[in-house]
Structure 1
């Protein structure tokens, strides 16, 4: 049984890091300064809707994302993991689950973060996938790790995470503490909806294993 986690918004609340990074990078791409109020309003939107709302041309999105990853690194490393998530990871590992990370953030940032905060239960980390490249990354992950799609659960906080999981035919657990609002995620119909990290233990250990 393999549980693969998204990183930003799922393992770490990186909203502050994103906010500060966008204040630096956004104006370089012709975007207006981002206020906290506007950021909160954007959290109910799909990533594509956010990009349109910010006025970023589609062809400039990869470059913007790359700049953002670099700009948010320092603030990210200062932000502790989501409360309770470290203990959940340790317990899942102890119970025999294979754990991994699949993120569009930079590989070096994810690795350095996990090392700094002692998140050492992961068997693999795949990062730098691109903002909308997670479906393909999941396919490659399944093949390279020798995992059957029925044996993998992807845990994430955004609609694009859910869409990637569906495209590959794997189950998806949506977390209610990340970027996308709980209401928007619930409306999209994830296989599992988690309102707090502790729900992972109940849902993954008992419900999913008994299916």
Structure 2
């Protein structure tokens, strides 16, 4: 199926934020009284689903909004230490120049997202940020209403199992990148519609199956 709308996740998909996350998460764990992440926990947690991660860390769901706000504030202070993955700017420009409409759905704030993207934020026609841990499906539906694109012509691209689950709940296609938070074999087991092993794969696969729409950005 060709696509005219591509909805990106930010952290772990476009931005290389996992190393930064590991430097701050145990401080957040102390502040909010959940189990810290040990070095030996990292790979098993990358293979786990979000609900299993919460159980392992002993994080009650009622604490999630406060933890998310705290992480956004920390990231805002340290955002200059987090880079986009190599190749992301060129990939975004290629998709824009191919007249694909780009949108961003993230758990982060829109201000953080725009700062992270810098000049490349102009490639995006729409932002739906501040998604809760399990709230991305609603944000995808918001993007669909704004753009008026048919569900069959939209794909959401992320790096976690919850991104795939949210896309399916919203009735759109899902793409998974293997360089982010979740382990590649975990994502493969979810059978996403498209799998991307390199940043360059995104433009290569999507521009080969284009339904054109209005260009976004300059």
TM-score, normalized by length of structure 2?
Answer: 0.89
Alpha-carbon separation, structure 2, partners of 1:112 and 1:204: 26
Match of 1:68 among 55, 67, 71: 71
Give me the CA root mean square deviation: 1.6
Please state whether the residue corresponding to 2:208 is helix, strand or coil.
helix
Residue 108 (structure 1) aligned with residue 111 (structure 2): yes
User: Corresponding residue for 2:24?
Assistant: 21
Following the alignment from structure 1 to structure 2, what is the Cα–Cα distance between the partners of residues 155 and 89?
13
Decide whether aligned partners of structure 1 residues 166 and 147 sit closer, same or farther in structure 2, where only a CA change above 3 A counts.
Answer: same
Equivalent pair of 1:173/1:194 in contact (CA under 8 Å): yes
Provide the C-alpha distance between the structure 2 equivalents of 1:193 and 1:207, rounded to a whole number of angstroms.
15
Segment of structure 1 superposing worse, 6-15 or 50-59: 50-59
Tell me, in whole angstroms, the C-alpha distance in 1 between the residues paired with 2:203 and 2:147: 24
Matches within 5 A, 1:54-203: 54-115=57-118, 118-203=120-205
Q: Give the number of the structure with larger relative contact order, counting CA–CA contacts within 8 Å between residues 6 or more apart.
A: 2
**Given that residues 83 and 116 in structure 2 are in contact (C-alpha distance below 8 angstroms), is that contact kept between their aligned partners in structure 1?**
no
Q: Deviations over 1:33-89 (max 9, x none)?
A: 323332233111112111111111122122212212212333333221111111111
C-alpha deviation, 1:110, in angstroms: 0.5
How many residues get paired?
A: 208
1:36 aligns with 2:39: yes
Shift of 1:207: 4.1
Gaps of 5+ in 1: none
Paired position in structure 1 for 2:50: 47
- Compared CA separation, residues 166 and 118, structure 1 to 2 (3 A): closer
With the length of structure 1 as denominator, give the TM-score of the two structures. Answer: 0.92
Q: Which runs of 5+ in 2 are unaligned?
A: 212-218
